[in-house]
């Protein structure tokens, strides 16, 4: 009997029933067969050597397909498991999936603790097993037999996984002497794995639950060629050079002090300058967008947070209340600005004509983050949100939402953040009691967000159960240099606080109505945003943001006075920088300015002084020749205008 196989180009070929994707590849070319890792069969990824019994569409997957890589890495995880079982008999296995770059396996080694010193031995074992070119053999198994197998083996984690599987849907995979519970698919044999590197080791809770036992998670990555591994390692090293913690130190932007406290960044002069530039940039954009600036204190009475509900929900995990000397008063360091802003709303009766009311504040907040969570500037305990709260009528939610999206997109575009994703976080439909607010309000808010995102053609991913307890949200996610995802901009609908603070406005019907509140922050926090900005730009900020925009470098001390004169003149044109008065040669001054990533160097010596000019050198580009001060100023302002196009 023969079957029809449709390939991605639309061509249809006939093969005998039971043909595998590998056979199909072989019929096309031997080279392709060598490279085929797995195949999409009727929309599902299958083993390349799994027999196909019916007419099917088949897309062969190789290393060039993300799904092909996923298969490769998943098979590598099994190879790691096989190596571990051979080196550490009795090891129990959790799960071992492929991840974005590589794979991991969670294992229970009993009393044994593993460290990265053990990696070489494990890697060598993996390579040895890979060279055996053992086939990955798929074997469907009944639930009872599967339970029997893993009971015999004594692997309670696999038994727990089987418990959640349906009889008839269970398969085992065996390569060499190792058999694992696995839905597959896998590559044809271990021989394709030529380069192996275990990258790190970590604790990970079984089934991602803090109440469960912590297993040892071993991360690794493999490649079909050693050269690809070398390239990968090189790229990781390059990425580490852009780490904001490293650059923050090198460029004197910020620091931490044990004495000040964990997660409490100190902004150094250059970092503070960068931060101020960003703030004034957004303040200007917000004024144009109809926001009204407000300022509120860093603390608020505990009663404020009892009203808002945050005391009940987060009180015990917050910095604890501050007490006054005599009375029983208690104040909280503010963990957010919204309760204060609600009180501003309430300072007078509001009419529907006043809405939307957009209150904006760069508000510094303090949250007691778990110590293990702190991370450079991206996760800190004291940070400043570019916060605003929009109080609007229910019918205005969608339009306001779109306006905020436009503002966020404008900010991202101006700063060159083109690699981001928009995440829509909705409530978990299975667990509605976790959330505050009626079904009706939630449905309206969720559809407003979805429609607004669609209207602005955002590339969105939707996460169920990720909404805040008070409302759905839209977050703008970016990656840091090492590929970790962080939330920057956020837009959140809130039906909770208006109720708790009993916010009202008088409608056109002369009745009282409840406004809707939208929390939003385009940067998210100054700290995290700047961290990502540093990594995106590798510390080479656009001219308008550079802490020092120019360095004036006198050829010798004789030209110091002239250098000062130029400096003061350019300061009048709002150009920031410094004169390098050190007793060093010009080459040295240039080198140091280059290392500090100063965008423009103005070299002044005898010639420049006589001609009332400056010799302009652009960082990374070199000598631009001599020009008058005002010519330089014009060129400078032009570049800034281009940076801020559309502003």
Partner RNA sequence: GCCGUUGUAGCUCAGGGGUAGAGCACUUCCUUGGUAAGGAAGAGGUCAGGGGUUCAAAUCCCCUCAACGGCUCCA
**Residue 34 annotated to the active site:** no
Q: Which stretch binds RNA (CB under 7 A): 125-133, 241-249, 343-351, 355-363?
A: 241-249
Q: What's the CA gap between 337 and 384, in Å, rounded?
A: 10
User: Whole-angstrom distance between the N-terminal and C-terminal Cα of the chain?
Assistant: 68
**Residue 338 annotated to the active site:** yes
189-216 CB burial, b ≥16 within 10 A, e <16 = bbebbbbbbbbebeebebeeeeeeeebb
Give the nearest distance from C-beta 214 to RNA in angstroms: 4
Could you say which of 50, 92, 367, 379 is catalytic? 367
Under the binding rule (CB under 7 A), the answer on residue 229 touching RNA is no
Q: What's the CA gap between 137 and 147, in Å, rounded?
A: 19
Would you tell me how many other CB atoms lie within 10 Å of the CB of residue 99?
13
Chain residues 254-283 in contact with RNA, contact rule CB under 7 A: 256, 258, 262-263
Chain residues 594-633 in contact with RNA, contact rule CB under 7 A: 594-595, 601, 603, 605-608, 615, 617, 619-620, 622-623, 626
**Residue 387 annotated to the active site:** yes
Chain residues 385-404 in contact with RNA, contact rule CB under 7 A: none
Kindly tell me which of 38 and 615 has the beta carbon lying closer to RNA. 615
Binding mask 4-43 for RNA (x = CB under 7 A): ----------------------------------------
CB 589 within 8 A of CB 580: yes
Binding mask 300-339 for RNA (x = CB under 7 A): ----------x---x--xx----------------xx-x-
Q: What's the CA gap between 421 and 402, in Å, rounded?
A: 16
Burial (0-12, 13-18, 19+ Cβ within 10 Å), 288: exposed
Residue from 205, 232, 352, 410 binding RNA (CB under 7 A): 205
Tokens of 578: 């410094």
Give the nearest distance from C-beta 430 to RNA in angstroms: 15
Residue 341, marked binder: no
Q: What's the CA gap between 519 and 492, in Å, rounded?
A: 5
> Which string of DSSP letters, residue by residue, matches 519-558?
EEESSSBHHHHHHHHHHHHTT---TTT-S--EEEEESSGG
CB 71 within 8 A of CB 186: yes
Residue 375, marked binder: no
Binding mask 494-533 for RNA (x = CB under 7 A): -------------------------x--------------
Residue 519, marked binder: yes
Residue from 78, 186, 217, 389 binding RNA (CB under 7 A): 217
Tally of CA atoms within 13 A in the half-sphere of 534 that contains its CB: 30
Closest Cα to residue 41, out of 10, 69, 20, 15? Answer: 20
Kindly tell me which of 230 and 250 has the beta carbon lying closer to RNA. 250
Q: Which stretch binds RNA (CB under 7 A): 5-13, 36-44, 456-464, 550-558?
A: 550-558
Residue 593 phi, psi dihedral angles, 5° rounding: -65, -35
Q: What's the CA gap between 47 and 136, in Å, rounded?
A: 9
**Residue 367 annotated to the active site:** yes
Chain residues 555-584 in contact with RNA, contact rule CB under 7 A: 555-558, 582-584
Give the nearest distance from C-beta 591 to RNA in angstroms: 3
Q: What's the CA gap between 619 and 550, in Å, rounded?
A: 10
Residues annotated within a binding site for Zn(2+) = 338, 389, 519
Active-site residues, by number, are: 338, 367, 385, 387, 389, 473, 519
């Amino acid at each position: 009997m023969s079957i029809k196989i449709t390939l991605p180009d639309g061509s249809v070929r006939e093969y005998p029933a039971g043909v595998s994707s590998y056979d199909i590849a072989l019929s096309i070319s031997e080279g392709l067969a060598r490279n085929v890792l797995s195949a999409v069969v009727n929309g599902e990824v299958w083993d390349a050597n799994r027999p196909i019994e019916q007419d099917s569409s088949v897309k062969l997957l190789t290393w060039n397909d993300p799904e092909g890589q996923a298969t490769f890495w998943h098979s590598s995880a099994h190879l790691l498991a096989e190596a571990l079982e051979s080196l550490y008999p009795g090891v129990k296995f959790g799960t071992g999936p492929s991840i974005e770059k590589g794979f991991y396996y969670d294992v229970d080694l009993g009393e044994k603790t593993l460290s990265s010193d053990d990696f070489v031995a494990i890697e060598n074992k993996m390579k040895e097993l890979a060279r055996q070119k053992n086939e990955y053999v798929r074997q469907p198994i009944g639930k009872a037999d599967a339970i029997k197998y893993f009971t015999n083996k004594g692997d309670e984690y696999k038994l727990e996984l089987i418990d959640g599987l349906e009889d008839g849907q269970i398969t085992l995979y065996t390569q060499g002497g190792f058999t694992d519970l696995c839905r597959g698919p896998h590559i044809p044999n271990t021989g394709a794995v030529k380069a192996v590197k275990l990258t790190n080791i970590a604790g990970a809770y079984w089934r991602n639950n803090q109440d469960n036992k912590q297993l040892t998670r071993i991360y690794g990555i493999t490649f079909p060629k050693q050269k690809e591994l070398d390239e990968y390692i090189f790229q990781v090293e390059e990425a580490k050079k852009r780490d904001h913690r490293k650059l923050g130190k090198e460029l004197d932007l910020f620091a931490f002090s044990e004495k000040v406290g964990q997660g409490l960044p100190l902004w150094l002069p250059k970092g503070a300058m960068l931060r101020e530039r960003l703030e004034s940039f957004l303040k200007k954009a917000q004024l144009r967008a109809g926001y009204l600036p407000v300022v509120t204190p860093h603390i608020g009475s505990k009663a404020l947070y009892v009203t808002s509900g945050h005391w009940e929900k987060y009180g015990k995990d917050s910095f604890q209340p501050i007490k006054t000397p005599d009375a029983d008063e208690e104040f909280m360091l503010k963990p957010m600005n919204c309760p204060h802003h609600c009180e501003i709303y309430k300072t007078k009766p509001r009419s529907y004509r006043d809405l939307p009311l957009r209150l904006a504040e760069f508000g510094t907040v303090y949250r007691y983050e778990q110590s293990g969570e702190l991370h450079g500037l991206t996760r800190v305990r004291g940070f400043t949100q570019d916060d605003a709260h929009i109080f609007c009528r229910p019918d205005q939610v969608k339009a306001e939402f779109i306006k905020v999206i436009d503002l966020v997109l404008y900010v991202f575009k101006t700063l060159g953040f083109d690699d981001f994703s928009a995440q829509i976080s909705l409530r978990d439909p299975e667990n509605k009691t976790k959330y505050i607010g009626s079904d009706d309000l939630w449905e309206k808010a969720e559809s407003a967000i979805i429609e607004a995102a669609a209207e602005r053609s955002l590339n969105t991913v939707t996460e169920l159960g990720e909404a805040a307890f008070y409302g759905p949200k839209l977050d703008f996610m970016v990656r840091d240099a090492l590929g970790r995802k962080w939330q920057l901009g956020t837009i959140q609908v809130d039906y909770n606080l208006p109720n708790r603070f009993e916010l009202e406005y008088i409608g056109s019907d002369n009745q009282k109505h409840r406004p809707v509140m939208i929390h939003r922050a385009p940067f998210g926090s100054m700290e995290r945003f700047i961290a990502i900005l540093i990594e995106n730009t590798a510390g080479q900020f656009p001219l308008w943001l550079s802490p020092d925009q120019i360095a004036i470098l006198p050829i010798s001390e004789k030209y110091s006075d002239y250098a000062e004169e130029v400096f003061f003149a350019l300061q009048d044109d709002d150009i920031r920088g410094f004169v390098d008065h050190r007793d060093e040669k010009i080459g040295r001054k240039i080198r140091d300015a280059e290392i500090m990533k100063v965008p423009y160097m103005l070299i002044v010596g005898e010639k420049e002084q006589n001609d009332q000019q400056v010799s302009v050198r652009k960082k990374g580009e070199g000598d631009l020749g001599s020009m008058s001060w005002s010519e330089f100023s014009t060129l400078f302002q032009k570049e800034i205008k281009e940076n801020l196009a559309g502003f």
